[in-house]
Structure 1
């Protein structure tokens, strides 16, 4: 019996029980998460924006693709995807990728004051291709990843004061997301291929990503190790095919690091993985095949709240952002109605943790020009 099917039987109460090693704290996820009630209660009827939210939460539309951001002269980009927030004095900045092809991609930013009013909008990267997800660095830059064969990672300035920098040392492959680990001083990278890999980049100098070593996760005899990728340029042999025993992941998507663990998602098998970097152990934090009536399908971008909750956006499914709590529960947090031809992405909290940002990449039209970027406010657990 395939391991995931065996585990499913155990979770559903048929056959032998399965034990997963974990420590349940407010900063750790129990594995694997099971379907259960949300800590925020049931979703209410859709609001004026077509979003179903728990009681006490509200949504607002911030920007629409091809339209001018209200109060600015900036036209919001098409196909908004991965995003993150950065503190800016008493306000903050939300950056958002544009997953557009043929050099039409890039990154735009929304600037907010202390009262959450938009005070500016501008472009911080342009001329790139299919900027999908990415990741924030501890030194307040945004790593924007090209989801295309032999794609690059670009380091960008959320304030738009510094020119973006292409980072060939992080490898050329179908990049999806990046997550900075300041404890081990590495950057984790996911690859959006059905036979993709999980990488880490070890910079020569932490804080400078211009030079360093790209490594891939290898599994041999049940043990994990990191092995140098001989040719990060990926040509003629792609990076995922250069190292024997490299562990294969089915469609790497979002990544988020917190307190010794890098959580990342794989869309081909609807899993959330938890790489325990402290103990060099890989766990399954969520698998839709390991719980009854799984609410989370089409896993994509992922972020976390300081309380320990994870928020995972769906590409497909029923257009939900689901929450995975430290007490082993997965449940819908919100649902977007009337946009089945789209996907949810760009989940990110503002620095205070009381506002959640996300985008519907293709909105109600199902096209890249129909993207909508939202803000949700309410009594988030902090």
Structure 2
């Protein structure tokens, strides 16, 4: 047993008792209402023992003179020394969102792209420096400017945030440059960074990214109904700007994970995978997913949030599954991931959770792993009168409710402080960032029904 398998086995053994539950009991536990305490401010209901604080809002004046922009989406958290955390937060803003952006007529010298009148595009990232012990924001500032629809992304082991454009606008369509890229924002930056697109990581409708700290391989999701699941093999791990090779996941048997036309990939089933090289990763034609599927890559239903845990990663497919309510996949890399030996010991893809009821799980998006090993998943559905929730998922695949958003917006950007004491979450619009405290290290967080 290698190190990765041994670590995973220990984690699963800790929750072995949960794995003995029947499918019926799991469904019942997921669908029953949880004992959440109604929030008198009408923002977020939480279980007893959990509390939140609003630490940043749309329109707040930042230290650089700009304001907090709207449409707060994916977010990453980094240690910033002396008990502080740096939060790098995406803003999913496009050319038509100038009035909701951070600049409001102010000029910026460093911007990836501009409108015809010279105005910087409002998309990008903002950074918060948060004192975890004192529960207060020490600084806020814009850290990337001039991009479009920065949706999700991912943290890197070397201390940066990969922010991803969920947009493939071409130059000349109201903007000066092509979009559809990943950009890297160092968490230590204390102002606007040089906006350099990582072209070798592909031009497509990016959603999120996750890095395997053992290999430096980057895994990428795509928010399209016929999306692919990608990995980027860097020429030099940790030096993404130096290029590398982009590939798409293919199933050894089958070419579709969505279960829309029948159950081809049952819940809890595990499939070996292979990887297909993609040429022309920076194609202007927005055709990577079509060319990849034609070469044998598997289709996924709107790949969204992704997070690398202990030797394995999880990612959401928002509208996947026979009921089109969402799936969570778990990928365990090969012991020889990205090397020739992976053909003999391929990576394994599991349909970890597939929702059959909107009260169980409805349109999962960003996700993270809690200190106790459970997943925390943000819902972002706009198709049902039911509120969006924070859902917990045990290592046995049981789904339960942690929080309910009382505003008509999505939850996003879930990430934990370096010590695991605080869960940070964004409310998309009007943008807010919340700091939630509670017993996150407890083995079973499910509130009583």
Same fold (TM over 0.5): yes
- Following the alignment from structure 1 to structure 2, what is the Cα–Cα distance between the partners of residues 218 and 287? 20
2:353 aligned to which of 286, 308, 311: 286
Matched, 1:167 2:198: yes
Matched, 1:265 2:316: yes
2:124 aligned to which of 91, 96, 106: 106
In the TM superposition, what is the alpha-carbon distance from 1:293 to its structure 2 partner?
A: 6.6
Greater percentage in strand: 1
Moved more, 29-38 or 82-91: 29-38
Greater percentage in helix: 2
Matching of residues 141-290 of structure 1 within 5 Å: 141-149=160-168, 151-161=180-190, 163-210=194-241, 211-221=243-253, 223-236=272-285, 238-243=287-292, 244-269=295-320, 270-278=326-334, 280-289=347-356
Which structure's CA Rg is the greater one?
A: 2
Report the number of matched residues. 348
In the TM superposition, what is the alpha-carbon distance from 1:27 to its structure 2 partner?
A: 8.6
Provide the secondary structure at the position in 2 that maps to 1:224: strand
Question: What's the C-alpha RMSD, in Å, of the aligned pairs?
Answer: 2.6
In the TM superposition, what is the alpha-carbon distance from 1:276 to its structure 2 partner?
A: 1.5
The alpha-carbon distance between structure 1 residues 101 and 253, as it changes in their structure 2 partners (threshold 3 A), is same
Q: Is the 8 A contact 2:220 2:229 kept in 1?
A: yes
Matched, 1:299 2:364: yes
- Following the alignment from structure 2 to structure 1, what is the Cα–Cα distance between the partners of residues 287 and 437? 43
**1:16 aligned residue:** none
Q: Is the 8 A contact 1:27 1:308 kept in 2?
A: no
1:24 aligned to which of 3, 9, 12: 12
Matched, 1:354 2:421: yes
In the TM superposition, what is the alpha-carbon distance from 1:85 to its structure 2 partner?
A: 0.6
2:437 aligned to which of 364, 377, 381: 377
In the TM superposition, what is the alpha-carbon distance from 1:73 to its structure 2 partner?
A: 5.0
Q: Is the 8 A contact 1:124 1:158 kept in 2?
A: no
The alpha-carbon distance between structure 1 residues 286 and 37, as it changes in their structure 2 partners (threshold 3 A), is closer
Question: 5+ unaligned residues in a row in structure 2: which ranges?
Answer: 1-8, 96-120, 169-178, 255-271, 321-325, 335-345, 443-449
- Following the alignment from structure 1 to structure 2, what is the Cα–Cα distance between the partners of residues 94 and 42? 30
Structure scoring higher RCO (CA < 8 A, sep ≥ 6) equals: 1
The alpha-carbon distance between structure 1 residues 105 and 353, as it changes in their structure 2 partners (threshold 3 A), is same
- Following the alignment from structure 1 to structure 2, what is the Cα–Cα distance between the partners of residues 336 and 88? 29
- Following the alignment from structure 1 to structure 2, what is the Cα–Cα distance between the partners of residues 282 and 35? 26
Q: Is the 8 A contact 2:55 2:136 kept in 1?
A: no
- Following the alignment from structure 2 to structure 1, what is the Cα–Cα distance between the partners of residues 204 and 397? 34
**1:17 aligned residue:** none
Q: Is the 8 A contact 1:94 1:109 kept in 2?
A: yes
| Greater than 4 Å deviation, 4+ residue runs | 26-35, 71-74
The alpha-carbon distance between structure 1 residues 35 and 163, as it changes in their structure 2 partners (threshold 3 A), is farther
1:344 aligned to which of 411, 417, 420: 411
- Following the alignment from structure 1 to structure 2, what is the Cα–Cα distance between the partners of residues 22 and 242? 40
**1:66 aligned residue:** 59
The alpha-carbon distance between structure 1 residues 343 and 186, as it changes in their structure 2 partners (threshold 3 A), is same
The alpha-carbon distance between structure 1 residues 215 and 345, as it changes in their structure 2 partners (threshold 3 A), is same
TM-score of the aligned structures, taking structure 1 as reference length? 0.85
Question: 5+ unaligned residues in a row in structure 1: which ranges?
Answer: 1-20, 363-369
Q: Is the 8 A contact 2:78 2:86 kept in 1?
A: yes
**1:334 aligned residue:** 403
- Following the alignment from structure 1 to structure 2, what is the Cα–Cα distance between the partners of residues 34 and 203? 41
In the TM superposition, what is the alpha-carbon distance from 1:26 to its structure 2 partner?
A: 4.5
- Following the alignment from structure 2 to structure 1, what is the Cα–Cα distance between the partners of residues 28 and 129? 37
In the TM superposition, what is the alpha-carbon distance from 1:188 to its structure 2 partner?
A: 0.2
The alpha-carbon distance between structure 1 residues 22 and 318, as it changes in their structure 2 partners (threshold 3 A), is farther
TM-score of the aligned structures, taking structure 2 as reference length? 0.72
Q: Is the 8 A contact 1:98 1:105 kept in 2?
A: yes
Provide the secondary structure at the position in 2 that maps to 1:36: helix
